[in-house]
Amino acid sequence: MSNPKNSPLPYRDAALPVSERVEDLLSRMSVEEKIEQLRSQMLFDPESSKRDPAVGHVRSLTHFAHQKGHRRTPGECAAINNADIKRSTGANRWGIPVLVHEEALHGAQWGDATCFPQSIALAATWDDALMRRVARAIACELKAVNIHQVLSPVVNLGRDSRWGRTQETYGEDVYLVSRMALAYVQTLEEMNIITTPKHFVDNYGEGGRDSNVSNSSWRVLREVFLEPFRVCVQEGRARSIMPAYNSVDGVPCTCSQTLLTDILRTEWGFEGFTVSDYGAVPGLVAPQRVAADRVEAVARSMEAGLDVVLPNNDGEAQRQLAREGRFSMEVLDRSVRRILKAKFELGLFEHPYVDAGAADAGVRSSGHRALALEAARKAVVLLKNRDRILPLSGAAGKIGVFGPACNTVNLGGYSGPYGGWKGEAMTPLEALRNLAPAGAEIRACDGTADLESVARECDVAVYFATIREDEGSDRSSLDLPDLSAGKQAEIADAAHAVIVDKREKSVASGDQESEILRIAETGIPVIVVLVAGSAVTMRRWEEKAAAIVLPWYGGEQGATAVAEVLFGHWNPGGRLPLTFPKTVGQCPLYYSHKPTGRAYHYNDNDGKPQFPFGFGLSYSTFEYSNLVVAPGTAAIGTPVTVTVEIRNTSDVAGDEVVQLYVHDCVASVAVPVKQLCGFERIHLAPGETRLVRFTLDDRHLALWNAQMKRVVEPGDFEIMAGSSSEDIRLKAMLTLFTGGQAFQPDTAERQSDRRSGFPA
């Protein structure tokens, strides 16, 4: 009998359409072989004897290959994955290769891959063209070691900074999140790497707590949280989706037919496959308690539209369901069909391996490192600069360096293998010493010195502050934390100590806010650098700070970027992708709220933010003029051009982020007071003027009406151009009337379903 792996069976013929190859192979597979294609496995040791090569999905073995003191080169990582794929292909009679997945939030999360700035920092660049270049570099480093799918990006909106995973998002705004997510997804998918936008759909709930029940109405879900996913699916052509842990409208997302079938597939036309979040299916038993046991949990999930259970699925639940006749073969075939389709599209049957010898040259190349530095520079947001104390010069004399993050490498969540990046990076202290101008002296306060005594010997102080945040680490306070009860073993026993042993996570002992105030009381100016991935409240110390700089988690080149900003080698141009509240009691706080019935303020607070969405200072100044909307009156469906002139009125070249907002003046339902509908980051020389052009169409002007239909209504729209959501420089009017051929923002007709909360 001939070997089917090498026989001229139709599924082996690359010239045939993928659909025909899928159906041919599916028709030849046994039930057990189909179940194997839906199994998954994750191992911490690449050489583990527990590796079952028959499973169809595996967490990249290189993800954990650097643990226990190992240091693997990219070539070695590629060889590890190649070998595992070879074993997997040989473990089934049809030669079906394994699908290798990985994390790649802000860089391929394995070994020595380039570590770019965290997602929130990339959003702060307000530069989706840069995002595409970063995504391309990430894709190259994934492909170099033979990784096929990434569990990225996070397209949840970060509207409550108490949520510890805010750093993984692209901020609070629907349009900004969608644009950045599209740049990432589209780029990787064009390079034939499967993206998995997550977590579908609303990943945190009351109190800003991760995976907590979502009480968002279906209107809010439609208007806000679903839209970035729709963009990723319909415009980015994402081939995988990961549902969230939490429940929406009483049903966990992992087993929600409304989400996974009705909206995702029937309405949006999604043709890819879905994967659970890690451990989400057992979570239906506990803590969700909507299934009696794991078998029922698997049945509910797959019937709803889930295809693959991650991270470790032994297939026993599917086998039991099949034996007992409780499992529809139609459901099984449906999921397997989706997986086989992806593997054929990836070309894994024809080209299962990569050239391990070429991997080293393609990973962390000089070009990728330079791109990481460019991204880190563009991400820096200058929040305050009293009396233009920045940039510092040689005249600054002696510069004191303080704070728990001054000599640590802070990269944010999902950095490197298992959260601990193994590449080389400078700390802020090292970068300051490396870039200090002639005449400037860097004095670091060590753990044996008195804070005030060191400060009095300096001309200016730079305090590097940080916060505690991460997956599973939500915050009830947004103040800088008192780290006096922190993990002293991780770094020195004083917040102002020089950390010789650089660490990934900055957790030191010391009350950071009190230290900032103590330094300020000496009379020297204090520059606070916030190494953080989310909002920080500043009631105690903001007035005492001469300048506040936010470099976020800037990736492997982040320390260099912030030093360049402090010394004037780089003019900051980043803008906030989320709102900074004055107090935690304002949360959730975001700019695009709907009108209140009465007032916004509290009896002890005016309700306004500390820093608004889109805010950021520069060493340059810019003037806006000549806002033109053409045509000013148009039929619905007619594209409208908006132009505005921007002039650099300073003697310093710099970047301005031109932001365009819209407000529907009179609508049939309540709409946001303003909504971002366009942005462009431009660089202007001193005295230079640039005409910036935007095009608006129905996608920017539509709303969900009372019947939950996406429509554009006739009437007046206020168009606003400015430097932030609060710094609106110019306004103009657009009037729309009926009679044109309206472009439909949603081309697929939604099916009414009472269970979903939609009108019947």
CB neighbours (10 Å) of residue 726?
Answer: 16
Greater pLDDT, 632 or 600: 632
Q: What percent of the chain has pLDDT over 70?
A: 91
Q: Quick one: tokens of 532?
A: 């953080």
Q: How confident is the model at residue 444 (pLDDT cuts 50, 70, 90)?
A: very high
pLDDT-based confidence at residue 380 (cuts at 50, 70, 90) = very high
504-537: buried (b, 16+ CB within 10 Å) or exposed (e) per residue?
A: bbbbbbbebbbbbebbbebebbbbbbbbbbbbbb
| Amino acid in position 594 | K
Q: Are 572 and 619 in contact (CB under 8 A)?
A: yes
**For residues 345 and 271, what is the distance between their CA atoms, to the nearest angstrom?**
12
Structure tokens belonging to residue 656: 């301005």
- Confidence category of residue 423, pLDDT binned at 50, 70, 90: low
pLDDT of residue 421: 57
Average pLDDT over residues 500-509: 39
Following DSSP, what letter does each residue of 273-316 receive, concatenated? EEBPPTTTTGGGTTTS--SSSHHHHHHHHHHHT--B--S-B-SH
Query: What's the pLDDT at 117?
Result: 97
Average pLDDT over residues 187-203: 97
Grade residue 490 by pLDDT with cuts at 50, 70 and 90: very low
Pick the residue with more confidence: 756 or 678? Answer: 678
C-beta atoms surrounding 728 within 10 Å: 16
CATH class of 378-586: alpha beta
Cα dihedral 309, 756, 179, 147, rounded to 10, equals 10
For residues 537-554, average pLDDT: 98
The answer to whether residues 55 and 70 touch, using CB atoms and an 8 Å cutoff, is no
What pLDDT does 417 receive? 60
* pLDDT at residue 327, as a whole number: 81
pLDDT band at 493 (very low <50, low <70, confident <90, very high): very low
Q: What is the DSSP string of 405-436?
A: TTTS----SS-SGGG---S----HHHHHHHHP
Is the pLDDT score of 419 beyond 70?
no
pLDDT band at 66 (very low <50, low <70, confident <90, very high): confident
Q: Using CA atoms of 479, 483, 484, 487 in order, give the dihedral in degrees to the nearest 10.
A: 160
Higher pLDDT, 49 or 501: 49
pLDDT value, residue 569 = 97
Q: Pick from 56, 54, 142: which is nearest to 102 by CA? A: 142
pLDDT at 492: 33
Average pLDDT (101-120) is: 92
Q: Alpha-carbon distance 290 to 251, whole Å? A: 8
Of the ranges 440-449, 557-566, 685-694, which one carries the lowest mean pLDDT score?
A: 440-449
Six-digit token string for 40: 């998954």
Q: How far apart are CA 65 and CA 422, in angstroms?
A: 11
Predicted confidence band at 494 (pLDDT cuts at 50, 70, 90)?
very low
The two beta strands, 247-248 and 204-205, are: unpaired
- pLDDT at residue 757 in the model: 31
Q: How far apart are CA 200 and CA 214, in angstroms?
A: 12
Triad 311, 316, 320: Cα angle to 5°: 140
Task: Count CB atoms within 10 A of the CB of residue 441.
Answer: 14
pLDDT at 497: 27
Structure confidence at residue 164 (pLDDT): 96
Residue 218, pLDDT > 90, answer yes
pLDDT tops 70 at residue 744:
no
Let me know: does 525 contact 549? Beta carbons within 8 Å.
no
Helix/strand/coil percentages in the chain, nearest 5: 30, 20, 50
Note the pLDDT tens digit of each residue in 649-692.
999 999 999 999 999 999 999 999 999 999 999 999 999 999 99
For residue 118, give the 3-state DSSP assignment: coil
Give me Rg for the CA atoms of the chain.
27
Residue 435 pLDDT > 90: yes
The overall average pLDDT reported for the chain is 91
Q: What is the pLDDT of residue 740?
A: 53
The domains of the chain are located at 378-586, 622-756
- What are 227-257's pLDDT values in tens digits? 999 999 999 999 999 999 999 999 999 999 9
**Per-residue pLDDT band at 449 (split at 50, 70, 90):** confident
- Which residue pairs from 29-34 have beta carbons closer than 8 angstroms and sit at least 24 positions apart in sequence? 29/94, 29/336, 31/322, 31/329, 31/332, 32/319, 33/92, 33/93, 33/94, 34/332, 34/333, 34/336
CA–CA separation, 265 vs 335, rounded Å?
13
Confidence of residue 61 (pLDDT cuts 50, 70, 90): very high
Q: What is the pLDDT of residue 254?
A: 98
Is residue 158 classed as helix, strand or coil in its secondary structure?
A: coil
Q: Which amino acid is at 673?
A: V
Q: Please report the sign of the dihedral spanned by the C-alpha atoms of residue 544, residue 547, residue 552, residue 554.
A: negative
For 65-91, give the secondary structure using H, E and C. Answer: CCCCCCCCCHHHHHHHHHHHHHHHHHC
Could you read off the pLDDT of 721-734 as tens digits, one per residue? 999 999 999 999 99
pLDDT in tens, 26-46: 999 999 999 999 999 999 888
CATH 3.10.580.10 fits 622-756, yes or no: no
In whole angstroms, what is the distance from residue 613 CA to residue 674 CA?
A: 12
Beta bridge partners of 730: 721
Residue 750 has pLDDT above 80, yes or no: no
Banded pLDDT at 265 (limits 50, 70, 90):
very high
